[in-house]
């Protein structure tokens, strides 16, 4: 585990985001999760499409929202459920899904409402509704003894779902570069990011979403702005592709969701073993106000810090994180 003594990623992020020459990037990197290579484009699907044990489908929630999901692998195997970040889709987990599918697990990932191939909702874009949608999906698939893994905003969704899940539904949880306990600065959370950062994100999205998303992916999200970093054009393009197929209104609303939702009580309520993974060079969700606080609130929390790793480390360092995830799941 890397030391975090003297860590100043929050200050680094603020100085970067407040630079007027980088206004379009301001804070926008705050809660996206990206965990894939460059999968092919996927069109919206309705109904069920099977190829052996690999399937993609949709469910319709009580309020009429269609939720797209992937459900791959043996249906009698232990399920792993992946929760993506803002403003992306289930495709961000393709690298992990293929890895764990090869290990014999059942792997499930969905596009959150307003994201990816799910309905571009203009209402219900809040954490409680996200979790209500997920409860409908896990009930529909009857997932039991599942491991829930969430990245960034998806880490918040996983936290609230696991805290509220029915007995027998969840075995373990993993929070990767996740937004809990709460991102925004307040009297109760003096180490958080100021509201101006998130206001800047909204401004960038509303002014030119396509350019804004391109700037987010090519900058601090993967640490591509660091000296000597190797830029991966396909990864940048895949991030942009996923963001642009989602709904602008839902993405705009989600900024308040990931920045202002307080997961403190959810973390305290979780009773299953939970692994907290975070890079100490995360310029998006600074570790000091996220993982280092979350692990103290969990009853059975374990912290793993990755020295020099960025927010999008599940893509840039999948060769390291995937085996670590497997070891925790099997442990």
Contact between 66 and 60 (Cβ < 8 Å): yes
Give the closest residue to 209 by CA, choosing from 166, 255, 140, 170.
Answer: 255
Contact between 72 and 107 (Cβ < 8 Å): yes
Contact between 267 and 241 (Cβ < 8 Å): no
How many angstroms from the chain centroid is the CA of residue 158? Answer: 9
Structural element, H or E, at residue 10:
helix 9-17
Burial class (CB in 10 A: 0-12, 13-18, 19+), 144: middle
**Contact residues for 260 (Cβ-Cβ < 8 A; gap 6+):** 182, 183, 184
175 SS3 class: strand
**Contact residues for 277 (Cβ-Cβ < 8 A; gap 6+):** 174, 175, 176, 177, 291, 304, 306, 321, 324
CA distance 83 to 151: 6
Contact between 152 and 311 (Cβ < 8 Å): yes
CA distance 3 to 285: 17
Residue 251, both tokens: 């993405």
- Given its phi and psi angles, is residue 67 left (phi above 0), alpha (psi -120 to 50 degrees) or beta? beta
The residues assigned a catalytic role are 152, 282, 311
For residue 181, say if its preceding peptide bond is cis, omega within 30 degrees of 0: yes
Residue 204 sits at the vertex; the CA angle it makes with 250 and 40, to the nearest 5 degrees, is 60
């Amino acid at each position: 585990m890397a030391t975090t003594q003297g860590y100043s990623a929050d200050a680094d992020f603020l100085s970067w985001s407040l630079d007027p020459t980088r206004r379009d990037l301001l804070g926008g990197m705050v809660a996206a999760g990206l965990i894939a290579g460059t999968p092919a484009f996927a069109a919206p699907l309705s109904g069920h499409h099977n190829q052996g044990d690999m399937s993609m489908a949709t469910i319709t929630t009580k309020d009429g929202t269609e939720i797209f999901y992937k459900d791959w692998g043996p249906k009698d195997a232990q399920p792993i459920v992946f929760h993506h970040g803002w403003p992306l889709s289930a495709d961000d987990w393709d690298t992990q899904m293929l890895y764990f599918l090869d290990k014999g697990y059942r792997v499930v990932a969905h596009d959150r409402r307003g994201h990816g191939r799910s309905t571009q909702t203009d209402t219900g874009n809040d954490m409680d509704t996200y979790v209500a949608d997920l409860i409908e999906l896990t009930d529909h698939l009857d997932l039991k003894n599942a491991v829930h893994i969430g990245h960034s905003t998806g880490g918040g969704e996983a936290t609230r779902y696991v805290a509220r899940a029915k007995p027998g539904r969840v075995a373990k949880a993993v929070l990767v570069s996740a937004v809990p306990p709460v991102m925004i600065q307040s009297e109760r959370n003096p180490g958080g990011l100021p509201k101006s950062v998130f206001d800047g994100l909204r401004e960038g999205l509303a002014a030119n979403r396509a350019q804004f998303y391109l700037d987010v992916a090519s900058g601090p999200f993967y640490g591509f702005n660091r000296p000597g970093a190797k830029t991966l054009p396909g990864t940048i393009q895949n991030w942009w592709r996923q963001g642009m197929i989602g709904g602008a209104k839902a993405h705009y609303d989600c900024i308040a969701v990931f920045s202002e939702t307080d997961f403190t009580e959810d973390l305290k309520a979780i009773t299953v073993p939970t692994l907290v993974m975070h890079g100490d060079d995360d310029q998006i969700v600074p570790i000091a106000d996220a993982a280092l606080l979350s692990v103290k609130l969990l009853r059975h929390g374990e912290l793993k810090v990755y020295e020099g790793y960025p927010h999008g480390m599940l893509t840039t360092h999948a060769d390291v994180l995937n085996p670590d995830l497997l070891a925790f799941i099997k442990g």
